[in-house]
Amino acid sequence: MSNYTYTIYDADPARSGPCEWPSHVDVAIEADDDSEARDAVVDALEVAAAGLSEADGYSVGQSIYAQIAKPDGTADVASYALTAEDLS
């Protein structure tokens, strides 16, 4: 098992201006490999999406993102597109 961390953002962290979610900054997870870590983070994005609403400024098709810090010092980005079900 290796240690990974991730941070969720309301926009692509590779572009200027995304806001990180304070309750989802540098969340630690353990995974056997990068693929397993990415799957776990996508699952976390899906769970986080279920708590969002259009009243908060989110819309169907908009994506939320997570930057994943890997054990080798590199990073990966995962995203999740919001659905009508998420925002209901």
Tell me the per-residue pLDDT of 69-78, one tens digit each, with 9 for 90 and over: 999 999 999 9
Separation between Cα atoms, residue 21 and residue 47, nearest integer Å = 14
Give the distance from CA 46 to its chain's centroid: 8
Taking the C-alpha atoms of residue 5 and residue 53, their distance in angstroms, rounded to an integer, is: 26
Summarize pLDDT for 20-53 with one digit per residue, the tens: 787 889 999 999 999 999 999 999 999 999 989 9
Residue 23 is assigned to a structural domain of this protein: yes
| Three-state secondary structure call for residue 13 | coil
Residue 77, domain member (yes or no) = yes
Q: What is the mean pLDDT of residues 6-16?
A: 87
- Whether 87 maps to a domain, the answer reads no
Q: Is residue 13 part of a domain?
A: yes
Cβ pair 76, 35 in contact under 8 A: no
Q: How far apart are CA 60 and CA 84, in angstroms?
A: 6
Length of the chain: 88
Q: Which of 6-15, 23-32, 64-73, 76-85 has the lowest mean pLDDT?
A: 6-15
Domain count across the chain: 1
For residue 54, what are the domain limits? 2-81
The verdict on residue 27 lying in a domain is yes
